[in-house]
Structure 1
């Protein structure tokens, strides 16, 4: 990346925020009983609440009168634990893998992440202390969280600077990946480590997601507290302060998510150096069946604002390669029988079939809309780097596949099994840019009990939901997930009568014959998990007609 961006990313002499000193002043304000903060707080009421459901109703935990506010405060604590670890992945794990010259190049990113890490370390301890006091039934004066949220707004200047600079961080990471072969190797190997459970670019966007979650919880608290409640003023003040920042987050988040997706696709689909650019917008990806002389062949399609790409997954390498493209400026669609339709591009025609009529309608509508929009704009030469030499009829595929390499000579990077491309391929799912935005705004962490379809017992797990996927840990302190469950293609809802589940607060996740039951510890927690999971699964439920797990 050029020196102009290097200088623009540099922090000013007065731009280093003394977060530690600010929080020392905050922490010097004593809690009402001066108890020592526990570093191993949860499962707080986890065992007593979840496990007590196997006993009588009288054994269930009864919380303070402000029950909803308690669960909202606990949600902040649970998700804060995950967010702090996300910051540590970038600030410690990833940075430690890089040579000094790369660390120096990315220093502005690491400086801001370090400031956030310091703040959230203290904020997390404050939350743990407050929840511990809250669960002491004799200390009702600690049944609030607004004051802690208001004090935490001291870090907003750091986030505002991060908001201004994060896109340049993403661009710098992408430039280094495409031009620096040793960095690319480190980057790819780090993303395959267990600690890096989501792409590095997604971790870079996590601070923006986190601000939106704080705003959501503050809004829910204000819905619960009456205006004369002592905590109302603190929550209102914190909401006013953070809303000024989140308003800017919402204005740019879609562009940032789009650029991050383009960079990921650029690497996963063979490292096309010119796929990610500021004028291209990702619209949708998903699987369709292509008609050929050899029958129906599964293909994965990627619709952008200027081009439609399609390809397949190699059984040998488990990597995706592009087989052809159609420029949207020349694209025309035609309806066909059943769930089939025809895509015309130049002198070529591709006949495909969708899994359902609804999915066919979705593709036809978005193809037509994107094609009409590009035709209304001035003509710009379509440039995809190596891919521009591929035909739109799959002729010369060997040559095309061989040319799909990045400037460093590397082929597509290995794709993790819970990657959205992989899941779309195996489940016949489809996902849009809007789905990615909604998913980024709906993240959750906490303890749940899990039961398989044919098992009798329940297993307590720490569960993190992000990027369309559930990640399972023994407890929140574990660094690596035991397993993950991608949810694209799944449906969520309460158990049916035939499931014979005799427990409260249970929801069911199902895809074909794959069924999982999860049990929350309260009605509020159950409703929050259902709300968040439905944000991802509800747009997928009409697409579950083909594919394998």
Structure 2
């Protein structure tokens, strides 16, 4: 151990340990002898031992001091928590006192104000039954909370004797469920209050006068009616804070946990009811927005989604406002700002929703229901997908709730029967739009101003009058006779023969026969229809037969390396077909539309110029054409 020099002298052995570490002058003159040196070393050893013992004492003293400080801190923290518990108990009691006064204002003071107005006017201001409905369940809540307040005041006044209050909530727990009944009727009662104020000027005057009185503190009556709705969450917050500050060995700890569990259950139930209340308000809002008298509010009906979609009619797209519920899909026509005319409410029972098979109609979705079926179009593919998912989920949930076990037939078998056409005529078909078919979908004769289109009421196809001379009783039309095509007529007759129990007979349209001279169409052009499945690509393109020729919008299908051309997307026969092997493409290099256009050549001879609606579509068509031009080995 290296220590600084220290001058020898009296008192050294008795010097304090700390003195050893005092820095001395290293150049101080000293005459050492062997004895002195030996004595100094001995003294130094004893001093080191004293230092070690002293350090141990200091460590022990420090540990003891820390333990003492921790104990003090713990006691201080416990004291703070005890004071908080008392403060929260007082807050529970004082807030209950304020709340009971609110209940008294509604149940007693407001009733007295109405009674005084009735006495003063000499006639009934408002029917007693209506007033009781507006103040529904407030008498019961007033008695419950008045009793609760009395017990809370007793406990807080004698806190040192009991130091507990949660057992009161445990005892009153079953009665707290009365709040759920009040909350369930809250929206209805407030709506009734508003309605009476609109219809009954005398009652409205009483309400206004009462709200302006000092007793009401210039607050609306609805402000006070909302207080019972807010009280249960307040109990939950106060009891949670109360439990957090209670010691684990407190007498009230176990009861507080039980009370908090009860209050949370009531609060969760109240939240569910409030959500239902929001749903009720939304349904009422929709009902008020419809022209005429319509019952949109139905038991168990839940609002899910709304939005504007284009509904495809026979000739044009028309904007319609759609409302999706958990049991129905409703569509309306906008008539003025925020007002609608009801078109139809379609049950989700038996409804199907799907995407069209053609890529060209990526914004569309098909709705098939028992009453009506149609095509809808959204603003974008993503919006279409949102509606598709929402409707499909609603149908699935509705079916799961309504499905019942049928021993003789499973749900899958029933669905398969529908898909196989066994129930033809039981559902409204989706009508093919007029502009998507230029020829009869049975005989392929072209439509003109005199040779008009007709729709089969069983399958929705566009047919000519010669191919739809029959009528048949259709189930979805409540067994009323309707025009059907020849193909459906044959199928319906077959179904009738299989179901011997039916007594309904088919109808003939009349003895007149309709004939039209048809243009002979090669069989090769009938092999592939415009809406064929498993094609490489299909859709509309603008086509020109030369640089100076006029553009014509046509429907094209590439299938099995053959390009088929159609006048419309639902035509059953092609205008022409062209194998693409041996052809090649050249993309347009100049001009503003160069990325939209591409040219089809054969042996350096220009056959056609194509133009797509957008660049991504043009690129997909180019890739499809190029794949079809290569002979696979």
Q: TM-score, normalised by structure 1?
A: 0.36
Q: TM-score, normalised by structure 2?
A: 0.32
Q: Which has the higher contact order (CA 8 A, sep 6+)?
A: 1
**Bigger Cα Rg:** 2
